[in-house]
Amino acid sequence: MKTFKKYQEWTKKTALYDNPVIYPCLELGAEVGEAFNQVKKIYRDDNGIVSHARKYDLEKELGDCMWALARLADDLDLDLEQIIELNIAKLEDRLARGKIRGSGDNR
CA-wise closest residue to 82 among 95, 70, 68, 67: 70
Measured CA to CA, the distance from residue 15 to residue 66 in angstroms comes to 13
Residue 2 has pLDDT above 90, yes or no: no
The residues spanned by each domain of the chain are: 7-76, 79-107
- Reading phi first (left if > 0) and then psi (alpha if -120 to 50, else beta), residue 13 is in alpha
Q: pLDDT tens, 28-80? A: 999 999 999 999 999 999 999 999 999 999 999 999 999 999 999 999 999 99
Q: pLDDT tens, 3-23? A: 999 999 999 999 999 999 999
